[in-house]
Amino acid sequence: MSPSDRFQLFLLMMNKFPFFIAMFFITGVFQSSCTSISIEEAMYEDRPQFVIRTTSATYWYDQAGGGLSRLIDLEGNDWINFKKDPLSEYPASAAAGFRGMPNFVFQSDDGGAGHPGFDQCISEVVDDNQIRTYSNSGKWQWTWTFHDTYATVTMEKVDTKHAYWFLYEGTPGGSYSPQDYYWGTDELGYQTELPDYFNEERATGNWQWAYFGSVTSQRTLLLGMQQLDSHADLLGFLGNTSDGLYSPDGMVVFGFGRQPGAIPLMTVVDKTFYISFLDQTVSSSEEHEALAVRIQQLIK
């Protein structure tokens, strides 16, 4: 039912049943049915999740991990596809436990904070569209804000002795099919090259935003940061076997503030990252330029 249809129905009901409509407003039943963003609780991989439903995506948030375990588009495709087992085996976990977003903290006593599958965090709903996460140590804190067409996460507190990164490790389009992938950044433009991470191939640069897509999907996933920094960023495709890129399963490895050698680089607070599904695909440099205009309007 469209918003205008709902409004007409509301006017009709107000004329016929004013008392009951008033009761709906008092109890909040009518208001909650009109909310475009909802946060519920559910289980996934035997772990408690917050499930955030918006008009453009469904986000599954691992409460104790403090990161996204699933990112589902309107067609039902999961662009993360986290699995609990194996959690930390190289390269096998490229088809399972390595996946997630933003996977903020690597190594240190807080290693795994921000990553699904780890028990390093406490997460709570703090508003109708916000979730705040604290590390068990109290050294890290970040807040997610969910909107109809995009989400943001802002790093609010950091361990001054350890750097962090922002990672997307998952399956563009919903499955590992690198032959169908494309990607791009503000610096490199539209790309179909597939750096084989297992065989030490990397694309590197200094990027404010990047996108990922598959020719099998109607959408493109955007990841961006509000302000460009000076840190190195990295991208590759990691298969789950020694066959590298040609493995039966795997994931993209993308990191803001990630140096080759798995070294995190970011240390600042109040840094905001953007996530959005864009209803536009890219197959040429011209289409990249058109998408770039939309991206800059979003993350300005």
User: For residue 77, what pLDDT is reported?
Assistant: 98
Domain shared by 16 and 73, yes or no: no
Closest listed residue to residue 217, CA positions, set 18, 79, 57: 79
Phi-psi region of 148 (alpha: psi -120 to 50; beta: other; left: phi over 0): alpha
d(CA 280, CA 263): 33
Domain shared by 50 and 19, yes or no: no
Q: How many domains does the chain have?
A: 2
Domain shared by 63 and 28, yes or no: no
Distances in Å between the alpha carbon of 205 and those of 155, 189, 245, 257, 258? 22, 12, 21, 10, 10
User: For residue 3, what pLDDT is reported?
Assistant: 43
Give the residue numbers spanning the domain of 108. Answer: 41-299
Count Cβ atoms within 10 A of the Cβ of residue 18 and give its class: 0-12 exposed, 13-18 middle, 19 or more buried.
exposed
Domain shared by 30 and 106, yes or no: no
User: For residue 16, what pLDDT is reported?
Assistant: 52
Domain shared by 46 and 17, yes or no: no
d(CA 180, CA 280): 16
User: For residue 300, what pLDDT is reported?
Assistant: 76
Domain shared by 10 and 53, yes or no: no
User: For residue 216, what pLDDT is reported?
Assistant: 96
Tell me the pTM.
0.88
Closest listed residue to residue 52, CA positions, set 158, 129, 114: 129
Domain shared by 26 and 148, yes or no: no
Domain shared by 160 and 47, yes or no: yes
Q: Output the tens digit of pLDDT for each of the chain's 300 residues.
A: 444 454 455 445 445 544 444 333 333 333 333 369 999 999 999 999 999 999 999 999 999 999 999 999 999 999 999 999 999 999 999 999 999 999 999 999 999 999 999 999 999 999 999 999 999 999 999 999 999 999 999 999 999 999 999 999 999 999 999 999 999 999 999 999 999 999 999 999 999 999 999 999 999 999 999 999 999 999 999 999 999 999 999 999 999 999 999 999 999 999 999 999 999 999 999 999 999 999 999 987
